[in-house]
Structure 1
Amino acid sequence: MNKELIRHAILSQLENQHALAVKSANEARDLATHEQSQPETQYDTVGLEASYLAHGQSQRVFDLDAMIQRYRNMTLRNFTSDDEIALSAYVELAYPDDTTKAFFIGPCAGGLELLIEEQKVHLITPDAPLARCMMGAYDGDEFELPGSNQTVEVVRIS
């Protein structure tokens, strides 16, 4: 699996989320400072609520900036079948029902689903329960999925 394609897909999704967060932050800031948001009574909190929203959206922009930089600066390591699973590994797991699932272990933004060369790739972080089970495993190793009695096998690391 070409990890540069994975990085590009992650960055594309994060940049789209960033653009949306910037737009939302600007709209919330405009609402918070609009003349109609000035309180008419002590119980009128529209402006206050909008300012909280603007702050939250601005924090989201900041967080997305940091995630984007982490992926731009991330070293993509090439793994062999003799290497243990670690950060920047692409891993395929075989499930008992004869299906396989692909994962990429990244530093942040876990939960994204990517479509790379017609292959669905799940982005997970080292803090995810599944990643904690994977980390340190080798090609051919088996382990039990967290919270289940299901055993999976590592069939590819790159």
Structure 2
Amino acid sequence: MDKTHFFNTLIETLRQEFQHAVAASKDAAEYATNEESRAESQWDTQGLEASYLAAGQAGQARQWAEAVEELQSEREDLLKPNDRVSLGALFQCEIAGEPDYYFFAGVAGGHVVHMDDADVTVITPSSVLAGRVLGLRKGERFLLANGLEGTILSVE
């Protein structure tokens, strides 16, 4: 799997997430201020709930924008070749007989990008898996907290 192509795809999917969150925030804000959502009684909280939703969506949009900005600012370092699992590593490992791809980044943990008939999951330093694989090279094994064993198959 080409790391530069993956990285560009990751940035594009995060930008799309940002645009969706902005649109959802605008929709919720419009609904919250719409005449139809005005409270008809003291127990009618529809407009209030929509305003909370708008604020949450705006917060999510900010997180996606910050993730894109951080990844872009670290682009050169993240795309350097790696021989060990570390920040910027695109690696494949096998856990309980199932091969999976991961990208080690400082942000966007849990985000999944589908490409080349495979899913690549972004992990961050705070993830459990990162704590188990950090510093490992191709061929090295690791043990997860649930007892499953894994092997690093490749590191880019």
TM-score, normalization by structure 2: 0.86
Aligned to 1:49: 49
Which amino acid is the alignment partner of residue 155 of structure 1?
A: L
How far residue 91 of structure 1 moved from its aligned partner, in angstroms, is 1.4
Aligned to 1:152: 150
Q: In the alignment, does 2:102 pair up with 1:103? A: yes
Which amino acid is the alignment partner of residue 33 of structure 1?
A: T
For residues 104-138 of structure 1, the C-alpha deviation after alignment (integer angstroms, 9 at most, x for no partner) is 11122222332333343222222111111001222
Q: Report the number of matched residues.
A: 153
For residues 20-67 of structure 1, the C-alpha deviation after alignment (integer angstroms, 9 at most, x for no partner) is 111111111111111222223222212111111111111111111111
For residues 56-94 of structure 1, the C-alpha deviation after alignment (integer angstroms, 9 at most, x for no partner) is 1111111111111112122222113xxx32111111223
With over 3 angstroms needed to count, the CA separation of the structure-2 counterparts of 1:22 and 1:96, relative to structure 1, is: closer
Which amino acid is the alignment partner of residue 106 of structure 1?
A: A
Q: Map of 1:1-158 to 2, 5 A cutoff?
A: 1-74=1-74, 75-76=77-78, 77-80=80-83, 84-95=84-95, 97=97, 99-148=98-147, 150-158=148-156
Q: Report the 3-state secondary structure (helix = DSSP H, G, I; strand = E; otherwise coil) of the residue aligned with 1:101.
A: strand
Tell me the distance in 1 between the aligned counterparts of 2:127 and 2:99.
19
Given that 1:5 and 1:116 are in contact with CA atoms closer than 8 Å, whether structure 2 keeps it comes out as no
How far residue 96 of structure 1 moved from its aligned partner, in angstroms, is 5.3
Which amino acid is the alignment partner of residue 19 of structure 2?
A: A
Which amino acid is the alignment partner of residue 153 of structure 1?
A: T
Q: Report the 3-state secondary structure (helix = DSSP H, G, I; strand = E; otherwise coil) of the residue aligned with 1:39.
A: coil
Tell me the distance in 1 between the aligned counterparts of 2:67 and 2:20.
15
Which amino acid is the alignment partner of residue 125 of structure 2?
A: P
What residue ranges of structure 1 are gaps of 5+ in the alignment?
none
Given that 1:130 and 1:146 are in contact with CA atoms closer than 8 Å, whether structure 2 keeps it comes out as no
What residue ranges of structure 2 are gaps of 5+ in the alignment?
none
Give percent identity, aligned residues only: 27
> What is the root-mean-square deviation in Å for CA atoms of aligned residues?
1.8
Given that 1:113 and 1:123 are in contact with CA atoms closer than 8 Å, whether structure 2 keeps it comes out as yes
